[in-house]
Chain A
Amino acid sequence: MKKLKNLTKQSEFYVFIIIVVLSIIIQARSGLFFANNNIVDTVRSMIVPSIYALCALLSFVSTGPDVSFPLIAALSTYLALITTNALGMGESMVIVFVFAIVYGSIMGALNGIIIVKYKFPSLIVTLGTSSIFSGILLGAFEAERMDLPAGLQRMGKASLLSVKNAETGLGSTLPMTFLILVALYVITYLVLNYTMVGRGVYAVGGDEVSAERAGFNVKKIRFGVFTANGAIAAIGGVCYAVMSMRYLPTEYAGGEMIVIAAIVLGGTRMAGGVGTLKGCILGTLLLTMVSNSLILIGISVYWQKVFIGAIIIIGTAVSALQSYGASRVKSKVKEAA
C-alpha cells in the first residue's frame, strides 16, 4: 500500500498513465497503434531525442538548462566526418564516433568553463555558445549536406530487427543505433546511481552549499557534467546522421526545446536535484507518440503543436503545483513541531 502511495507521488507515474490512456485511444480509433511496425517506428524516432534527453537531464539535475546540445551534435559530427575523410579512415565507424566524442567534449568543456568560472546562468551561456557553434558550422566551414563514409553507411543499412505488418504491408526496421542508446542509458544509470560522482551530480543540484560541505567538488562536477554532455550530444549527432543516411547540417537545430519539455514532463525538477532516467524515457515517449500518432486518430497535423504545447503546460503545471504543495506541507510540519 505504501509503495502505491509513493508511486502516485511521482510524476513518472502520471506520465505513464497518460501514455497508456493515449495509446489505448489511438488503438481504439485506428487499430494501428499496437501494430508491430508502428511500435518499431515509434522506438526508432525516439532514439535521437532520448540520447539528447540525457544531456538535458544531466544539465538540469546539476546546474540548469543546456540548449547547446543540438549544435554541438551538428558541429562535432561535421568535424568528425571531415577529419575521417581527410585521414582516409572512413572504413571504420568507431573512428568517426571517437573523433566526434573528442570534438564534442571540447565544446562541452567550453560551456563548462564559462558556466563554472563565472557562475552565469547556463541558459544564457549555452544560447550564446550554440550561436557560436552555428556560426562556425554554417559560416566558417560553410557545411553542406554530405554523404557518409563507408563505415557509417554500412551501419545505417544494417538493422537489428525488421518487421512487416501483414495487414497494411508497411515495414519498419530498428537501426543499430538502438544499441548505442541502450548502452548510454545503462552507463548513465550505473554512474548516476552507484558512483560517488553520480550522487554528486544530484547533490550539487539539490543544494550547492550542502554538497560542498559534504565534500563534493562542485566546480569539478559541473564542469564534468557539461563535458560529458558534449560527448553524449556528439554521439547523438552521429546517430542522427547514420539514421538519415546522410549528414544534414541544418536539420539539427531547433530540437532542444522539445527535449527539455520531455524531460520536465518526466519529472525532472527545473530547480535541480531531481530527475530520473525512467522519466526521460517516458517523457520522450509521450511527446514522440503525440507527434507521430495524432495522424492515426484523424487529428490534422495542424493541431500537433497545439497538443504538444498543451501537454507541456499541463504537465509542468501539475509538477510545479505538486512541488509547491510539498514545500508547503513541509513548512507546516515544521511549524507544528
Chain B
Amino acid sequence: MMAKIKKIDANILRLIMILIVFLIIACVTQPTNFMKADNFRSMAKQMTEYGLMALGVGVCMISGGIDLSCVYIANLSGITAGLMMQSMSTTSSGSGYILLSVLVAILVGAACGIFNGFLISYLRIPAMLATLGSYQLFMGISIVISNGSTVSGIPEGYTMWGTTLLAGIPFAFVVFLICIILLSLIMSKTRFGQKVYLVGTNAKAAKFAGIKNNSVLIRSYMISGILSAIAGLLSLARINSAKADFGSSYTMQTILIVVLGGVNPDGGFGSIPGIAIAVVILQLLSSYLNMFPNISNYYRDLIWGVALIAVLILNFVTNKRKQARLAKAS
C-alpha cells in the first residue's frame, strides 16, 4: 500500500515539474501575451469541457475499460437541455425550467453511462466495442432529436453562466474544480473508489473478494456519463448552441490526457489529481502554440501524438528501473 502511494506521488511530482518548467519557458518567451489574466481565463474555460470528460474516461480506465462515447453523451445531454429550454422558454417564466432542463440533461447522461455499464458488465461486451457502438447510437439519437441541425436560441438566463465570473474565476472552471475535488475524494477515500481500483487490477480476484463487479462497473460508467453531461451543459452555455457532432476530436484528446496523467491503460493504476494536472499541461501547451500565428493548428496533433508515446515510454522505463531496484533489494 505504501509503495502504491509513493508511486502515485512520484508521478504527480513529475507532472508538476513538467508544468513548472513549461510555465517558465512560456513566461520567458511570451511574457506579454501569455501572462495575462484574460489568457488564463479563456484557458480555464476551454479546458473545462474536455477536462471533465477526461476525468470520466479516467475512472473507466482505472476500472479496466475505456469510454469512447463521452463526447457524444455530452452532445446528447447538451441537445436535450437546449431543446427543453427552447420549447419552455416561450411558455414559462422564472428560472425553474432552466433548472429542470439541467437536471434532465444530467439524468440523460447518467442513463447513457448506465447503458454503457450494462453492456460492459452484464453482456460482457469489451468496453472499447461497447462504447464504440453506443457512441454511434447516442450520436444517432442526437441527430434524430435535433433533426440534424444545430440547436440554438438558448435563453439568456442560461447562457449568462457561460460568462459569469466568481471572484475572477469563470463559473465553468469552478464547476470543474468541484468535480475534481469530489471525484478525488470518491476515488481515494470511499469504499467504492477502492473497489474500482481492485476491479481494474484483477477482476477475478475482486470477484472472489466479494465485490459485485457488475455494479461497480455500472457505477463507474455512470460517473463518466454524468461528468460528460456536465461538460455538455457547460459547452451549451459557452457557445450558445449544441450540435450532434460537436467536438469529435475530443475523444482522442481525453484518452491522451488520461494516459499522460499516469493512468495505466490496462486498469488499476492512476489518480484523479494526476489527470487534472495533465489537463492543465495540455491546455497550456495548446494555448502557448496558439501564440505563434505561423504554426498551423494541425501541429498540435503531431505534438500530442509524440507526447503520448513519449510519456508511455518514459513510464515504462521508470517502472522497469524501479522493478529492477526492488528485485535487487529483495
Contacts and interface: CB of A to CB of B under 8 A. Distances in A.
Interface centre among B141, B143, B299, B301 (most CB of A within 10 A): B301
Interface string A297-316: 00001111111111011001
B147 interface: yes
Question: Which 7 pairs across A and B sit closest by C-beta, in order of nearness?
Answer: A135-B302, A309-B137, A305-B140, A306-B140, A309-B136, A131-B305, A312-B133
A139 interface: yes
Interface in A98-117: 114
Interface stretch (A120-128, A147-155, A208-216): A120-128
A264 B129 contact: yes
A132 B316 contact: no
A136 B306 CA distance: 11
Nearest to A269: B126
Contact of A131 (B119, B125, B248, B308): B308
Interface of B: 66, 119, 123-126, 128-130, 132-141, 143-144, 147-148, 248, 252, 255-256, 259, 265-266, 296-306, 308-309, 312-313, 316
Where chain A touches its partner, the secondary structure class is helix
Given A135-B302, A310-B137, A313-B125, A124 B143 contact: no
B143 A128 contact: no
A125 B259 CA distance: 11
22 contacts: A123-B66, A124-B255, A124-B259, A127-B308, A128-B305, A128-B308, A130-B305, A133-B305, A135-B305, A140-B299, A142-B296, A261-B133, A270-B126, A271-B126, A309-B137, A313-B134, A316-B130, A320-B123, A320-B125, A320-B126, A321-B123, A321-B124
A156 interface: no
B312 A118 contact: yes
Contact of B296 (A128, A130, A139, A302): A139
Interface residues of A, number: 47
B301 A309 contact: no
A77 interface: no
B302 A309 contact: no
A96 to B, nearest CB: 24
Given A127-B252, A270-B126, A309-B133, A121 B265 contact: yes
A50 interface: no
Interface of A: 65, 114, 118, 120-121, 123-125, 127-140, 142, 254, 257, 260-261, 264, 270-271, 301-310, 312-313, 316-317, 320-321, 324
A317 B119 contact: yes
B88 to A, nearest CB: 24
A309 B140 contact: yes
A135 B143 CA distance: 29
Nearest to B266: A121
Interface centre among B124, B129, B134, B143 (most CB of A within 10 A): B129
Nearest to A133: B305
A306 B132 CA distance: 12
A270 B129 contact: yes
Contacts of B128: 65, 123, 270
A309 B72 CA distance: 12
A313 B126 contact: no
Contacts of A309: 133-140
A143 B316 CA distance: 35
Nearest to A254: B248
